[in-house]
Amino acid sequence: MIEIDGLSKFYDNKAAVDAVSMTVETGTITVIVGTSGSGKTTLLRMINRLETADAGEVRIHGEATDSLAPHLLRRRIGYAIQGHGLFPHYTIARNIGAVPALLGWPEDQIRARVDELLSLFSMEPAQFRDRYPAELSGGQQQRVGVARALASRPDLLLMDEPFGALDPIIRARAQDDLRRIQRALGSTILLVTHDMEEAIRLGDRIAVMDGGRLVQHGSPTGIIRNPATGFVAEMVGGVERPLRLLSLLPVADIVEPGTAPGEAIAPTTNLRDALALCLWSGRDALPVQTDDGRAARVTLKAIRAQAQGPG
Amino acid sequence: MLFLILGAASCAAPFLSLAANRIVVGEGVALWRAAPVQHSAPALFLLGLGLLLGLLQSRPVLRVAGAVLSLAGLFWLLSMGAAALLADAGRYARVSPAAGFWCLLVICALLLADALSQLQPGPRTRAAALALTLLCVAGLLKAGLLSDLSIAQEFAPRKAAVLDAFIRHLWLAFGSLGLAALIGLPLGVLCHRHSRLREALLPLLSFLQTIPSLAMFGIMIPLLGWIGTQFPAAQAIGIAGIGFAPAFLALVLYSLLPVVANTVAGLESIPPAVRDAARGIGMTTWQRLFRIEIPLGLPVILTGLRIVLVQNTGLAVIAGLIGGGGFGTFVFQGLNQTATDLILLGALPTVALAMVAAIVMDILIEITQPQRGSET
Ligand SMILES: Nc1ncnc2c1ncn2[C@@H]1O[C@H](COP(=O)(O)OP(=O)(O)O)[C@@H](O)[C@H]1O
Ligand SMILES: [Mg+2]
């Protein structure tokens, strides 16, 4: 568990981060989202003490971060930044193994970990291990950046707009990869983005920042359904709100007994995709696969009820 | 094409010059009359063929071969011509290369450099080419092929002195570089870290750099002289108003600006994301310096050392004026005696030394470039 407690930072007597408090559960992804200049980067960098906090403290598993020397703290916290910051004169293997090397892991253990991570990111170890960063595509460099941050199995992974420089298709794939890897490793991640779409896609919890303050912190559905301020409502997007909401819910939530024409869809399909399928094929209901073979379906009416806002 | 026209023009200039003794001005001897025809014909043929090959813009390998052939022809003619002219002349007669030779030499060398750079050789090939060239020059000298030239006659009685000057010159140029690097690199790192120090130090060093070298020696002489007389211990290790110490110190002062400025520039050339990542993954200040900042800044830092090395090799000549030793000794002796050959005896090795140093440093700089370009 990571506890952020009243963290503040002032530049020229102006608060860049203003008394932010929140708790991040172990094994979850929390996405900090906000417009440019809202203090997200500053908040993140105070956690690994790249910036010193003017007030407040951070506790990791109950232990205050300022009880450690900064460089020792940073070796326990993974850090991935936009523009990846790979070392151009290190091979990919040495880049990924940088933190384990600092921690004094034995050579063969580092090598095994590097290969494991490369495979996890769908990069053939034998092919990529000895290359240099400049020989990789932007998407690959970015994945190596994340792999480096994960290498020592850190307590916490901080990611500052890690997918900002990628084109939409590569970005979506990178997001799926991250989600899958986070689930597999059970990592705790704090990720910063200005893109609400990304926040909804990745976050178990979303923290919305505005002008240095934390204005709302909750589950994606909670934030879309009940935005705390006009700013949050604007961030979650007027016309797209119902669709975003649907994209978070699986068909399994509203499945009902009954039959419908056509091929059955998986119960894990999200409601946005189910809606699209209804509209595209002109059907009012879709059959849903079940374990026991009983007929089940999801209806357009039920989907519509889920997408309806309050009032 | 340019080479050919220049080549033709320099053929018209006197190739060798024959003088009755080492002081008087010599008389020009044209290219085609420099040597007996049985020697000059094949040599001239080689020279012409080489230059013609040099015209083949699209065949760099042939151009290199052409340049080598024409150089061979040139030196053959020089060697034979000098021997032939001396054979018919008086006892104190001197033969030295004249304008025509020098022009042709420059043309051939330019052709060689141009053709070689067209081939884009890797650092290893360049190192090999340099070594080969040095071997050829050494062989040429050792075999006595040029021993009839006046400059060689100046050299013969001064063998020990030249060797001594060479070592002194190396000490002046490389030693001052070493000391400047020892002081300048840490200063550069400090300047990079503390902008206040940089703002104070760099203008001061720039100012030092603008002091004309003669004035600098002028300042050194009374200063070190005073130290020498005040502190016997200082005098014991050779610190005095004239001699090696003031020359050395002046060179060190001149070197500081390029070393410090390039160290700062090298460290500043590192992408901010890389610097940030190094901090973010938990490297200590020293680990960052030695594992990230210095390796990545090295090409720029070495460029600074290259500037210093070439600059100091040249400036060290002036040390001869205040008894600092080095090749400058011969230059100033030569100037006093109006003996051009003696001046050349000091100047030619200096130029060669500077060129070799520059090439070696360039190779080093290329080797230290980060793999395959930079951060994207
Ligand atoms: N080193 C700094 N000096 C002065 N102001 C800064 C500095 N770093 C950030 N700021 C200011 O703090 C605010 C928050 O910045 P930042 O945390 O980078 O925002 P975000 O990452 O959300 O775009 C901005 O107004 C920015 O101008
Ligand atoms: Mg930011």
Model pLDDT for residues A111-132, shown as the tens digit of each residue? 999 999 999 888 999 999 999 9
Q: Output the pLDDT for position B370.
A: 66
- 3-class state of residue B256 by DSSP: helix
Name which of B352, B334, B325, B340 is nearest B162 in CA terms. Answer: B325
Which of the residue ranges A57-61, A149-153, B92-96 would you say has the lowest mean pLDDT?
Answer: B92-96
Nearest CA in chain A to B293: A87
> Could you give the CA distance from residue B324 to residue B164 in angstroms, rounded to a whole number?
12
**B212 in contact with A at a CB cutoff of 8 Å?**
no
Residue A271 has pLDDT above 70, yes or no: yes
- CA A35 to ligand 2 centroid distance, Å: 9
Q: Output the pLDDT for position B78.
A: 86
Amino acid residing at B267 = L
Model pLDDT for residues B7-31, shown as the tens digit of each residue? 777 777 788 888 877 777 778 888 7
> Could you give the CA distance from residue B12 to residue A209 in angstroms, rounded to a whole number?
83
Give the closest-approach CA distance of B285 to chain A in angstroms. 9
Model pLDDT for residues A194-242, shown as the tens digit of each residue? 988 899 889 999 999 999 999 999 999 889 888 889 888 888 876 678 8
> Could you give the CA distance from residue A217 to residue A219 in angstroms, rounded to a whole number?
7
CA-to-CA separations, A99 to A117, A151, A277, B196, in angstroms, rounded? 13, 7, 47, 33
**Domain ranges in chain B?**
2-120, 158-372
**Residue nearest atom 11 in ligand 1 by C-alpha distance:** A16
Model pLDDT for residues B274-294, shown as the tens digit of each residue? 999 999 999 999 999 999 999
pLDDT mean across residues, chain B? 84
CA-to-CA separations, B225 to A147, B235, B251, B321, in angstroms, rounded? 64, 9, 17, 16
**A73 in contact with B at a CB cutoff of 8 Å?**
yes
Q: What is the mean pLDDT of residues B33-53?
A: 82
List alpha helices for A151-299, DSSP H: 168-185, 196-202, 220-225, 230-236, 241-248, 271-281
Pick from A50, A134, A135: which is nearest to B280 by CB? A50
Residue B1 has pLDDT above 80, yes or no: no
> Could you give the CA distance from residue B104 to residue B98 in angstroms, rounded to a whole number?
10
Residue B117 has pLDDT above 50, yes or no: yes
Residue B94 structure tokens: 């001197």
More confident residue, B305 or B145: B305
Q: Output the pLDDT for position B261.
A: 92
pTM recorded for the entire structure: 0.79
Which of the residue ranges A87-96, A188-197, A209-218, B163-172 would you say has the lowest mean pLDDT?
Answer: B163-172
Q: Output the pLDDT for position B373.
A: 45
Model pLDDT for residues B87-102, shown as the tens digit of each residue? 777 777 888 888 888 8
Residue B3 has pLDDT above 70, yes or no: no
Name which of A80, A90, A150, A133 is nearest B287 in CA terms. Answer: A90
Burial class (CB in 10 A: 0-12, 13-18, 19+), B279: buried
Ligand number with the minimum distance to the CA of A42: 1
**B158-372 belongs to which homologous superfamily?**
MetI-like (1.10.3720.10)
Say what percent of chain A tops pLDDT 70: 98
Q: What is the mean pLDDT of residues A148-177?
A: 88
> Could you give the CA distance from residue B263 to residue B297 in angstroms, rounded to a whole number?
7
More confident residue, A11 or A309: A11
Q: Output the pLDDT for position B332.
A: 87
Which residues on B lie below 8 Å from A135 (Cβ)?
A: 372
Q: Output the pLDDT for position B376.
A: 37
Sheet with A296-299, side-by-side order of all strands:
A256-257, A296-299, A285-287
Q: Find out whether B249 and B174 touch, Cβ atoms under 8 Å.
A: no
> Could you give the CA distance from residue A113 to residue B103 in angstroms, rounded to a whole number?
64
> Could you give the CA distance from residue A43 to residue B114 in angstroms, rounded to a whole number?
57
Q: Output the pLDDT for position B92.
A: 79
Strands, E assignment, chain A: 2-11, 14-24, 29-34, 55-60, 63-64, 77-81, 156-160, 189-193, 205-210, 213-218, 256-257, 285-287, 296-299
DSSP H or E segment with residue B94: strand B94-97
DSSP H or E segment with residue B369: none
- CA A18 to ligand 1 centroid distance, Å: 12
> Could you give the CA distance from residue A180 to residue B365 in angstroms, rounded to a whole number?
44
* Ligand 1 atom nearest to CA at A192: 21
Q: Which of A11, A82, A159 to mutate to test the pocket of ligand 1 (most atoms within 8 A of CB)?
A: A11
Q: Output the pLDDT for position B229.
A: 82
Which of the residue ranges A138-142, A285-289, B323-327 would you say has the lowest mean pLDDT?
Answer: B323-327
Model pLDDT for residues B355-368, shown as the tens digit of each residue? 899 989 888 888 88
> Could you give the CA distance from residue A62 to residue A83 in angstroms, rounded to a whole number?
32
Ligand number with the minimum distance to the CA of A32: 1
Residue B256 has pLDDT above 70, yes or no: yes
Residue A137 has pLDDT above 80, yes or no: yes
Strands, E assignment, A29-175: 29-34, 55-60, 63-64, 77-81, 156-160
